[in-house]
Chains A and B, each alone.
Chain A
């Protein structure tokens, strides 16, 4: 409690408030630009935090994350183009509302839902992370190995259409994490006689390359310049108070969407697009008027936006306790934590408790700031989004990306690695190997290697050493969860092939 109060005091300074305000505004602007995701917003703005104190840097990035996820709703509502993938479900009802001259109502609904979602996510994070971190101390090397494998299996099955391709991506990432000096043996590996590679592949360099460059290449190839159908942001008869009364008067939709967002946020790799689609689907399913969804029902906007903003703080639970990012943008936050010498786990809540609590509370403050920044800045952001030509946007983002990568270690080689990984990532995506499993493999490689090697060393006299990996009850449970995760990913394909999925779906349809 003392740490929480101390963290609150360090947050409520002029410097702290300005940092969060600027972070939310910058995130909102980048998130509202179509094609620029929350991960890109964090990657592009990351170098600006290098000269800051650790808490201030984390506060800025947390605010950018919150702002960019919310910013995606602007273009989703006004031009039917989600600014970030998290806002896909917002377009379903947000754009029809805008076409009916209810753009302000939709934006007000999205804003209120985002604020509440953000605050709920922060509350869950404050309540769940410390006990989970204490519980995580019981994890030995073999448990940590299985935790890494579980994260990888879930990401591989969720982010790719094919489990095999996802697993191959994860293995490639894990092998990339082994380039450089071995953490256990201390020897240099896979440098191919090139000494600068001894430092390994910097996580943030790989993240920037794999998440930003493929998007830039897509934008350039597609010539995304024609934002044609734009809805006007005129003042409507419905004010923010009436929208708030509507949302809070029937809170079931909001509560359900927040809970869905939180549960999915804990699953590594699920991301905001999954949370918002599931929450939207459930809002429609439980609605008394499901026919109105897709035609301008504000409850659809509320479900999508509240769930994806819960995810921002909610997905930090596995990150801060086990070091497993819940969503791709969290990987950047992990990179920043490691850069400042902070390792996920119990120590984050004890030794660095003020910093960690300050970071969590700053996300709550960022959620509150969405209300004034979003509603006051709506018109300005609308103008910028409509008027920024993509032929300026692509080279400008490329330049910031190069600068950010170079600034990490003052290394031009890092810039080259970032570009080559980005170009390779673009072509790998075409054949179904996505960036998320590669990145998670890169992050979890170190955790998995330490767990695996330490377990094998302890089992050196055992007749079958690898059996030590499933010796403890907790290891057995985690190994079973890995198998279950893989089986769940394979199940829909198997059901479809055997014809049972179609039968099931048609019978469900008949029930209705």
Chain B
């Protein structure tokens, strides 16, 4: 998918927004602690402004290209964020099994419809993957993974 966008102006605007958020959120930090961030904030502001102005007169690019399906991209972003949220609620094992199963099915659909037989075959494969990593991290590496309703 091609989106018409002046990339210089977009990058300049992001730099300015980032600088503004930190500048407004600096509070009453003491002189020693603000010395360096303030210098970088000023440099970021100047560079972003230069890029923004350059975008008006001599833009580096007028479009961005998202290769592949933007729909799949957005769904995967959403699923990753849901995964993060679900780990805290359902625990690592349950949430990872569910989300991994869903991502596998969602991505496999690129090649065509997924049969029930394949879906059933994936259950033990994904369970072994999740269980295996869970066992390695908890038993071998001594990492306490988040637990939830069942595990």
- A392 vs B125: C-alpha distance in the bound complex, in angstroms? 10
Within 8 A of A (CB), among B104-151: 104-105, 107-108, 110-111, 125, 129-130, 133, 136-137, 140-146
Q: By the criterion CB–CB under 8 Å, are A223 and B84 in contact?
A: no
A432 beta carbon closer than 8 Å to chain B: yes
Q: Least Cβ distance of B57 to chain A in Å? A: 12
Q: By the criterion CB–CB under 8 Å, are B143 and A407 in contact?
A: yes
Q: By the criterion CB–CB under 8 Å, are A189 and B104 in contact?
A: no
- A220 vs B110: C-alpha distance in the bound complex, in angstroms? 10
Q: By the criterion CB–CB under 8 Å, are B60 and A162 in contact?
A: yes
Q: By the criterion CB–CB under 8 Å, are B15 and A452 in contact?
A: no
The residues of B that contact A175 with a CB separation of less than 8 Å are 18, 22, 37, 40-41, 44
- A493 vs B140: C-alpha distance in the bound complex, in angstroms? 54
Q: Which of A167, A172, A184, A406 contacts B143 (CB 8 A)?
A: A406
Stretch in A71-79, A276-284, A415-423 touching the partner: A415-423
Q: By the criterion CB–CB under 8 Å, are B67 and A218 in contact?
A: yes
Tell whether A389 pairs with B108 under 8 Å between CB atoms, given A187-B33, A399-B96.
yes
Q: By the criterion CB–CB under 8 Å, are B33 and A410 in contact?
A: no
Q: Least Cβ distance of B126 to chain A in Å? A: 8
Give the one of B31, B54, B84 with max A CB within 10 A.
B84
Q: For this complex, into which size category does the number of interface residues on chain A fall?
A: 35 or more
Q: By the criterion CB–CB under 8 Å, are B35 and A456 in contact?
A: yes
A437-448: CB near B (< 8 Å → 1, else 0) gives 000000000001
Tell whether A431 pairs with B10 under 8 Å between CB atoms, given A221-B70, A412-B87.
yes
Q: Least Cβ distance of A414 to chain B in Å? A: 10
Q: By the criterion CB–CB under 8 Å, are B73 and A221 in contact?
A: yes
- A189 vs B11: C-alpha distance in the bound complex, in angstroms? 25
Q: By the criterion CB–CB under 8 Å, are B103 and A164 in contact?
A: no
- A327 vs B79: C-alpha distance in the bound complex, in angstroms? 31
A198 beta carbon closer than 8 Å to chain B: no
Q: By the criterion CB–CB under 8 Å, are A416 and B84 in contact?
A: yes
Instruction: Count chain B residues whose beta carbon lies closer than 8 angstroms to a beta carbon of A.
Output: 74
Give the one of B11, B88, B100 with max A CB within 10 A.
B11
A252 beta carbon closer than 8 Å to chain B: no
B46-84: CB near A (< 8 Å → 1, else 0) gives 011011001000001100111111101100110011011
Q: By the criterion CB–CB under 8 Å, are A218 and B133 in contact?
A: no
A398 beta carbon closer than 8 Å to chain B: yes
Q: By the criterion CB–CB under 8 Å, are A432 and B40 in contact?
A: no
Q: By the criterion CB–CB under 8 Å, are B72 and A221 in contact?
A: yes
For the residues of A in contact with B, the DSSP-based class is helix
B1-21: CB near A (< 8 Å → 1, else 0) gives 000010110111011001000
The residues of B that contact A213 with a CB separation of less than 8 Å are 80
The residues of A that contact B68 with a CB separation of less than 8 Å are 218, 220-223
A451 to chain B: closest residue by CB: B36
Q: By the criterion CB–CB under 8 Å, are B47 and A419 in contact?
A: no
A453 beta carbon closer than 8 Å to chain B: yes
The residues of B that contact A457 with a CB separation of less than 8 Å are 32
Q: By the criterion CB–CB under 8 Å, are B11 and A432 in contact?
A: yes
Q: By the criterion CB–CB under 8 Å, are A220 and B73 in contact?
A: yes
A449 beta carbon closer than 8 Å to chain B: yes
The residues of B that contact A407 with a CB separation of less than 8 Å are 137, 141, 143
The residues of B that contact A161 with a CB separation of less than 8 Å are 60
Tell whether A410 pairs with B143 under 8 Å between CB atoms, given A171-B47, A175-B44, A395-B103.
yes
- A184 vs B18: C-alpha distance in the bound complex, in angstroms? 23
A174 to chain B: closest residue by CB: B40
Give the one of A187, A189, A221, A456 with max B CB within 10 A.
A221
The residues of B that contact A433 with a CB separation of less than 8 Å are 11, 14
**What are 13 contact pairs spanning A and B, CB under 8 A?**
A47-B137, A167-B47, A171-B47, A175-B41, A178-B36, A185-B31, A192-B25, A218-B67, A391-B104, A394-B107, A395-B100, A430-B64, A430-B66
Known: A171-B43, A184-B33, A430-B66. 19 other contacts (CB 8 A): A51-B140, A164-B50, A168-B11, A171-B47, A218-B68, A223-B69, A225-B111, A390-B107, A391-B107, A394-B76, A395-B103, A399-B96, A402-B84, A406-B143, A410-B143, A412-B146, A433-B11, A449-B36, A452-B35
The 9 closest A-B pairs by CB, nearest first: A185-B33, A221-B68, A185-B32, A222-B68, A182-B33, A391-B107, A171-B44, A223-B110, A221-B73
